[in-house]
Amino acid sequence: METNLNFNIFYFYHRFEYRSSLKYTLMAFRFEELRIWQNAFQLSNEIDVLSDNFPKKELFNLSSQIKRAADSVVLNIAEGSTGQTKPEFKRFLNMALRSAIEVVSCLFLAKARNYIDENIFKKQYGEYEILCKMITKFRDGI
């Protein structure tokens, strides 16, 4: 019993890894090691903070929509990566890609309504363009 407990504790601490956006994280699931998931996770958090500055009238509209779309990218990558067949994983990556494109559309709406300025729009647009290319390349390589 003592040996088994020591091994489990060693394994638990051995799997910790420092990453700037996640601090100390247990890497127990396949998706955590995927760069597309890590990037999507960080971008989702940026969108969450960004949309908190939208007007109150958008709380249940654009603000909610952009947050759900950004979260959907992260969640679809995670869900598809775990124990799925290759075609099924590709299907989830396609959903993640569509959600990322939805975020970009929401960014256009936010810019048109003057909720974000041109610099923030360009930064987020560029980050999501890179993410979409990464997801597409990853999907096509499966």
Output 106 or 17, whichever has higher pLDDT.
106
Tell me the whole-structure pTM to 2 decimals: 0.81
pLDDT in tens, 3-62: 444 444 443 433 344 344 555 556 788 999 999 999 999 999 999 999 999 999 999 999
Predicted pLDDT of residue 28: 82
One-letter identity of residue 24: Y
Compute CA distances 19 → 16, 23, 107, whole Å: 10, 5, 27
pLDDT at 25: 56
Residue % of the chain over a pLDDT of 70: 81
| Cα–Cα distances in angstroms (integers) from residue 94 to residues 12, 55, 98, 103, in the given order | 33, 31, 6, 14
Domains of the chain: 30-140 (1.20.1440.60)
Helix (H) or strand (E) holding 18: strand 16-19
